Amino acid sequence: MNSIEAVVDDIRNDLEFFDDELQKYDYIIDLGKKLEALDKDKKNDKNLVDGCTSKVWLDISLEDEKLVLRGTSDAIIVKGLVYIIIQIFSGRSLAELKDFNMDILSRLNLSEIITPSRQSGVAGMINKIMEFSKNGNI
């Protein structure tokens, strides 16, 4: 598995392929269509992400010492953001997250594409993952 930094760089490069913000926006929406359906019982208050304008559920668990992330949203653009977060963090060990720099938004240049409230939602997802990695639960 590639390092977190390599995955972030790959996503940034994919986004930079597009010339304008609308194309990037459409690309993120298309990424959201790749999300696996989240079981209805996982759409609960425990998995609800704070700080999001729309509803975002992020189910986090450990399997074989690795993070397993599943998620969804009720907004199509946010589903794409959930997909990106899952690609970056799922399959990682807790040790990999210990020294992780949370400045993903600037590295992906998402602030050029998404609103501040959506950026807050991405930060909320990352915070939930980091809280789990530190405490082993939510």
Computed on alpha carbons and rounded to an integer, the radius of gyration of the chain in Å comes to 14
The one catalytic residue in 31, 52, 69, 122 is 52
Catalytic status, residue 52: yes
Provide the 3-class DSSP secondary structure of residue 135.
helix
CB atoms within 10 A of CB 104: 21
Judged by DSSP in three states, 28 sits in helix
Residue 7 structure tokens? 């995955």
| Distance separating alpha carbons of residues 46 and 134, to the nearest angstrom | 17
- Amino acid identity, position 42: K
Rounded CA-CA distance 129/115 in Å is 21
Q: Which residues are known to be catalytic?
A: 52
